[in-house]
């Protein structure tokens, strides 16, 4: 981006913010005004120009009117209004797209996160990091059934993705803009933003933050959810690492199967005597040989899928696009 | 406020239909309920047996008939076609016989008005044979179990929905009965309404095996596809994991029995099964991974949320009551009246009249910022939506001002964008999209907009415009350009060097598609008839080779490119590359439409790509076969596009730019259009800079053009793609 002459851009009343706060909102009619107040209060104490991007995800309880009323009197506020409910990730993606600042903060719209923590997170970012995640160290949740699976999940996620984050479920995070613009969010990916950041080469760290208990709502951790998180984890790990080559992952998947297949194949030629001795090539076990052969075929099949994946990566302009964005943003 | 218009779509796909009682019954019920209604009957097959009934209907009720070509296309297509022709915002789909008590249709409509996007009906007091009821119950039970959706009667032919549900939800084949399921999966609000069953037509007893299989496959497909597009690894991983978890113990048990218990495996099919399950499990996981990669790499293209509005905060930080809550074009003018394409245009058509209804905005006096300086800066990432909002609201905003055009240009030709915004405080007062183009033939220049016929400044007042132009000049000097080209459509205040080369042709469209023909001069009209009607008389002195040509809006980019490139080669000009057209369609989706003219043998004779924005259709890229001397196909295709535009609700048609007194200009005049001069302005900056003269009618280019027209097609395409970058 070419630089405009200094005289045109400077000024204390410059409307281009340095800090953007993105909050997805869904049916939070009573929480919006206190949220806005808390945010304004916290942000005004920082010494930077800021903007607040509130994304309304198709609320039908009157949230929208409250938002418009707030926007009418606060120049720091920007609203993105969806036509209907598209989900939290879409709302966050839209918010990131509309944000203009070089530093972007994401948080929950239901007052679980405390805006007062934003300052500390931003300062930590300036120490030389690209993503700073909030860590809800002193969780206020009651049920052990919620904490334990959550802890296990966090441990797994941090180990597997290398993000070393204790609390990936905390929405309060601060990013440099290039990290956010290089990512395209869909499905439930917003939980894995930190992990994806690792894939981009971002430096990630965390800071303890305050946490206010969720007012209502049932615990969302059940067995099915655990499985889903695990599946997502495997997917994310692969996606992060496939900047190298996706075929490596498919080799990883095919290898054990191949070994099993060879094992079964070989086993087909062994006959075990009652004394425990093994006799080789005395006869053959058709079943084992057949199973081994089929398993070997499938292993090759899986391996070849890897080529398909490589092709897809080549054909899509994904990496060229991403490199272009990263280069442009990093030089802002 | 006028009563809401309800469109009732009835698709006649089978032989046993009675549209008259349906229309009468529903019509009376709707009118009785205080609504206006219209009926759209879609005929999926020969229509002769219903002619009399339809004529009776047309005598009493507003009726439109859609005849599907060929027939046997199925109810999904019939439904889509019917909704496309419907004018109301709320649509009721009814079977071609009185399936439910007519008054109950009001329940459906009221549910829609109460905020639902889609309404499924649940028939009670079923009167069909018990066997059918049993099957129906079983079917719905399966559905609830597999899909986890609480619908009780998806086979009921009466449904209600808003139009935009059909815009966003895609279905085909037999999936029309799953419309409520698909809609709910995509986030729409779907409710179920109980209605009284009246009569049922259709086979009693068991259906053929094929029917059951098809239904099962549909269920599986829908369940599968929805989950697949979310996170494929979850779905496949789950299945794969289960397969391995089941197969591994089986195989291990038999292995154990082989080693410890000295039993051979040959007669143990369980072993093979277990081993196969394990292998299959790995395979499934592999598929899941491939799916993940596909979705991940396509994610940038999948952005599918639709933004209704982007609102900028306003007012002083300390003031308690303040100025206008919304960005706008001209200051005190009420935003342009409701646009008919608010549903059609992509993503950012703002519903500004809605905000005005709040009561505050319309009466608030804008805070005077007259003393604040104007500031011009470049557009920041993150402000695309705001830019598009501004262009939508500005009365002179054209399709080419959209950020989508800039994105496509930047991506395909790698020119550098320098979009300028002038603002006062936080309010935007004007925009100017610019591209730095580097061309071997034209040098370095700033162009607004390249590859487009319109562009230039959009501003609220002259002061803002001047600020933008001053900044553009400064930017141009800084970048060392020869000139800044502003391709203005209408005149802008001020005096700058102009180019008299080009004119454009626009017209206002009539309200009725039938009037389009009436406005075309007689000679062109005769050509249109010659191309369109099989029985029209041949034109005096011209050999007529083709007849019965149809024009449909379903052309493909490949067809268009083939014809377009061929035309360009004949004229001796390099053609734009195919990826440019593909990029446009990808970027603009439904706002870029390709019409094609097809002869009775199915061959595409001509194609035109048009863009739709606000209330205007811009017919832009076109090509036609040169080796077939078809009378009037070019006249006919544009006439058809205009009729299509009227049906879709557009009010203006833009025929495009041509050089003064060129062949195309004469063609457009013959079609009844008047030439309007364009106001292309140039800010000459470089030493010795002058107005560009690199255009085809320049005599210096005659030889290269002749050579070009002799080159083989492949070479032309290859070179054309390379050269396009240098011909903005």
**CB B615, CB B652: distance < 8 Å:** yes
**H or E element, residue A42:** helix A32-44
Does A69 fall in a domain? yes
Spatial CA neighbour of A104 closest among A93, A112, A96? A96
pLDDT tens, position by position, B173-216: 777 888 888 888 777 888 888 888 887 776 666 667 777 787 77
pLDDT tens, position by position, B98-157: 888 888 888 888 888 888 889 998 888 777 777 777 877 887 787 777 777 778 888 888
Pick from B187, B272, B382: CB nearest A287: B272
Does A4 fall in a domain? no
Tell me, yes or no, whether A188 and A123 share the same domain: yes
Task: Report the complex ipTM.
Answer: 0.74
Q: Give A317's Cβ-side CA count (13 Å radius).
A: 10
Q: Which among A105-114, B125-134, B322-331 has the top mean pLDDT? A: A105-114
Pick from B266, B299, B386: CB nearest A285: B266
Is A147 in the B-facing interface, judged by CB distances under 8 Å? no
Give strand ranges (E) for A2-56. Answer: 19-25, 50-56
Test A261 with B279 for CB contact under 8 angstroms. Answer: yes
Does A275 fall in a domain? yes
Is B307 in the A-facing interface, judged by CB distances under 8 Å? yes
Task: Tell me the backbone φ, ψ of residue B394, rounded to 5 degrees.
Answer: -75, 135
DSSP B395-417: TT--GGGSHHHHHHHHHHH-PEE
Tell me, yes or no, whether A52 and A188 share the same domain: yes
B329: confidence class by pLDDT, cuts 50, 70, 90:
very low
Tell me, yes or no, whether A86 and A201 share the same domain: yes
Is A86 in the B-facing interface, judged by CB distances under 8 Å? yes
Q: How many CB pairs under 8 A join A and B?
A: 248
Min Cα distance A291 → chain B (Å) is: 5
Last residue of a domain, one of A203, A226, A242: A242
Among A191, A254, A282, A288, the strongest candidate for a mutation testing the B interface, having the largest count of B CBs within 10 A, is A288
Tell me the pairing of strands B652-659 and B616-624.
parallel
Instruction: Write out the residue range of the structural domain in which residue A267 sits.
Output: 245-330
Q: What angle do CA B388, B393, B395 make, to 5 degrees?
A: 120
Test B282 with A254 for CB contact under 8 angstroms. Answer: yes
Q: Which of A200-204, A265-269, A276-280 has the lowest mean pLDDT?
A: A276-280
User: CA B629 to CA B538: how far, in whole Å?
Assistant: 13
Query: Within 10 A of B672 (CB to CB), how many other CB atoms are there?
Result: 17
**CB A267, CB B255: distance < 8 Å:** yes
Tell me, yes or no, whether A322 and A216 share the same domain: no
Radius of gyration of chain A (CA): 26
Largest CA distance in chain A: 95
**CB A64, CB A56: distance < 8 Å:** yes
User: CA B228 to CA A213: how far, in whole Å?
Assistant: 34
Last residue of a domain, one of A223, A242, A261: A242
Tell me, yes or no, whether A238 and A251 share the same domain: no
Tell me, yes or no, whether A160 and A218 share the same domain: yes
Is B418 in the A-facing interface, judged by CB distances under 8 Å? yes
**Which residue is it, tokens 């604040």?**
B372
pLDDT tens, position by position, B477-506: 988 888 999 999 988 888 888 888 889 999
Q: What share of chain A is helix, strand, coil (3-state, %, to 5)?
A: 50, 15, 35
**Which residue is it, tokens 């003269």?**
B693
- CATH of residue A56's domain is 3.90.550.10
Chain A residues within an 8 Å CB radius of B262? 272-274
B358: confidence class by pLDDT, cuts 50, 70, 90:
very low
Query: Within 10 A of B474 (CB to CB), how many other CB atoms are there?
Result: 15
DSSP A95-159: HHHH--SSEEEE--SSS-B-GGGHHHHHHHHHTT-SEEEEE--S-----HHHHHHHHHHHHHHHH
Last residue of a domain, one of A207, A242, A277: A242
Q: What share of chain B is helix, strand, coil (3-state, %, to 5)?
A: 45, 20, 35
Tell me, yes or no, whether A78 and A223 share the same domain: yes
User: CA A84 to CA B165: how far, in whole Å?
Assistant: 11
Tell me, yes or no, whether A201 and A315 share the same domain: no
Query: Within 10 A of A37 (CB to CB), how many other CB atoms are there?
Result: 12
Does A272 fall in a domain? yes
pLDDT tens, position by position, B222-280: 777 766 666 778 888 888 888 999 988 988 888 787 777 766 667 777 888 888 898 89
Domain count, chain A: 2
Pick from A87, A91, A309: CB nearest B290: A309
């Amino acid at each position: 981006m070419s630089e405009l002459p200094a005289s045109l851009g400077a000024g204390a009343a410059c409307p281009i913010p340095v800090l953007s706060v993105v909050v997805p909102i869904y049916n939070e009619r009573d929480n919006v005004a206190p949220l806005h107040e808390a945010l304004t209060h916290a942000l005004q104490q920082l010494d930077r120009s800021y903007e607040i991007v509130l994304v309304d995800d198709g609320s039908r309880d009157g949230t929208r009117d409250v938002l418009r009323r707030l926007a009418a009197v606060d120049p720091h506020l920007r609203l993105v209004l969806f036509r209907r409910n598209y989900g939290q990730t879409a709302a966050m993606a839209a918010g990131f797209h509309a944000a203009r600042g070089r530093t972007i903060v994401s948080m929950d719209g239901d007052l679980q996160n405390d805006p007062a923590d934003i300052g500390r997170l931003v300062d930590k970012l300036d120490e030389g990091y690209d993503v700073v995640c909030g860590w809800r160290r002193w969780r206020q949740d009651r049920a052990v059934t919620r904490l334990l699976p959550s802890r296990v999940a966090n441990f797994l996620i941090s180990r597997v993705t290398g993000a070393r984050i204790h609390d990936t479920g905390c929405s309060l995070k601060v990013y440099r803009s290039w990290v956010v613009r290089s990512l395209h969010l869909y499905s439930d990916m917003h939980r894995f933003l930190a992990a994806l950041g690792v894939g981009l080469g971002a430096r990630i760290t965390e800071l303890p933050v305050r946490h206010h208990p969720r007012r209502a709502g049932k615990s969302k951790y059940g067995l099915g959810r655990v499985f889903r998180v695990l599946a997502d984890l495997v997917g994310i790990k692969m996606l992060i690492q496939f900047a190298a080559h996706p075929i490596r992952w498919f080799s990883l998947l095919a290898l054990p199967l191949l070994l099993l297949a060879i094992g079964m194949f070989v086993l087909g030629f062994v006959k075990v005597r009652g004394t425990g001795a093994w006799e080789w090539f005395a006869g053959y076990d058709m079943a084992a040989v057949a199973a081994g052969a089929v398993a070997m075929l499938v292993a090759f099949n899986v391996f070849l899928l890897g080529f398909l994946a490589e092709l897809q990566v080549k054909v899509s302009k994904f990496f060229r696009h991403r490199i272009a964005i990263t280069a442009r943003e990093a030089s802002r | 406020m006028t009563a809401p218009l309800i469109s009732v779509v009835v698709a006649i796909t089978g032989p046993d239909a009675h549209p008259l009682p349906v229309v009468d019954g529903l019509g009376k019920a709707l009118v009785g309920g205080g609504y206006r209604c219209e009926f759209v009957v879609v005929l999926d097959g020969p229509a002769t047996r219903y002619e009399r009934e339809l004529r009776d209907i047309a005598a009493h009720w507003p009726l439109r008939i859609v005849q599907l070509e060929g027939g046997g296309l199925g109810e999904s297509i019939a439904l889509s076609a019917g909704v496309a022709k419907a004018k109301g915002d709320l649509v009721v789909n009814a079977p071609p016989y009185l399936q439910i008590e007519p008054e109950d249709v009001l329940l459906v409509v009221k549910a829609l008005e109460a905020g639902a996007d889609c309404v499924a009906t649940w028939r009670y007091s079923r009167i069909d044979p018990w066997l059918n009821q049993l099957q129906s119950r079983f079917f719905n039970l399966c559905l609830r179990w597999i899909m986890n959706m609480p619908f009780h009667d998806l086979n009921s032919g009466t449904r209600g929905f808003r139009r935009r549900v059909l815009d966003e939800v895609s279905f085909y084949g037999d999936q029309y009965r799953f419309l409520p399921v698909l809609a709910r999966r995509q986030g729409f609000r779907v409710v179920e309404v109980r209605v009284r069953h009246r009569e049922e037509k259709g086979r009693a007893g068991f259906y053929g095996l094929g029917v059951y299989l098809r239904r099962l496959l549909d269920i599986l497909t829908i369940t599968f596809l929805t989950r697949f597009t979310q996170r494929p690894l979850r779905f496949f991983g789950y299945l794969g994991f289960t397969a391995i978890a089941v197969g591994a113990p089986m195989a291990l048990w038999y292995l154990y029995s082989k080693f410890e218990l000295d039993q051979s495996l040959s007669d143990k099919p369980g072993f093979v099964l277990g081993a196969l399950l394990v292998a299959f499990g790995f395979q499934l996981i592999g598929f899941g991974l491939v799916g993940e990669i596909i979705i991940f790499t396509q994610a940038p293209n999948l952005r599918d949320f639709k933004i209704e509005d982007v609102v900028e905060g306003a007012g002083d930080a300390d003031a308690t009551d303040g100025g206008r809550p919304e960005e706008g074009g001209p200051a005190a003018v009420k935003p342009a009246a409701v646009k008919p394409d608010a549903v059609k245009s992509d993503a950012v058509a703002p519903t500004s009249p809605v905000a005005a209804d709040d009561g505050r905005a319309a009466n608030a006096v804008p805070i005077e910022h007259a003393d604040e300086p104007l500031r011009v800066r470049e557009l920041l990432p993150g402000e695309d939506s705001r830019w598009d909002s501004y262009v939508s609201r500005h009365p002179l905003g054209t399709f080419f001002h959209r950020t989508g055009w800039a994105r496509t240009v930047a991506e395909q030709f790698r020119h550098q964008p320098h979009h300028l915004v002038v603002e006062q405080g936080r309010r935007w007062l004007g925009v100017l999209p610019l591209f730095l183009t580097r061309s071997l033939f034209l040098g370095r220049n700033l162009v607004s907009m390249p590859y487009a016929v319109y562009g230039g400044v959009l501003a609220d007042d002259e002061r803002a415009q001047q600020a933008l132009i001053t900044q553009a000049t400064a930017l141009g000097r800084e970048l060392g350009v020869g000139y800044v080209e502003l391709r203005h459509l209408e005149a802008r205040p001020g005096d700058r060097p102009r180019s008299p080369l080009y004119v454009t042709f626009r017209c206002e469209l009539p309200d009725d598609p039938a009037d389009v023909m009436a406005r075309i001069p007689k000679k062109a009209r005769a050509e249109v008839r010659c191309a369109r009607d099989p029985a029209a008389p041949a034109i005096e002195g011209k050999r007529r080779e083709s007849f019965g040509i149809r024009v449909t809006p379903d052309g493909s980019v490949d067809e268009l490119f083939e014809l377009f490139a061929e035309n360009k080669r004949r004229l001796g000009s390099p053609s734009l590359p195919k990826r440019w057209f593909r990029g446009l369609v990808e970027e603009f989706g439904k706002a870029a439409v390709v019409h094609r003219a097809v002869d009775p043998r199915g061959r595409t004779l001509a194609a035109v790509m048009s863009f739709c924005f606000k209330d205007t259709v811009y017919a832009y890229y076109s090509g036609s076969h040169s080796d077939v001397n078809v009378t009037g196909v070019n006249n006919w295709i544009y006439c058809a596009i205009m009729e299509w535009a009227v049906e879709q609700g557009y009010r203006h048609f833009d025929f495009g730019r041509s050089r003064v007194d060129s062949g195309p200009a004469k063609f457009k005049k013959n079609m009844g259009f008047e030439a309007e001069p364009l106001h292309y302005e140039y800010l000459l900056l470089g030493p010795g800079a002058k107005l560009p003269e690199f255009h085809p009618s320049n005599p210096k280019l005659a030889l290269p053009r002749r050579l070009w027209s002799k080159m083989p097609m492949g070479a032309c395409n290859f070179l054309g793609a390379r050269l396009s970058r240098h011909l903005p």
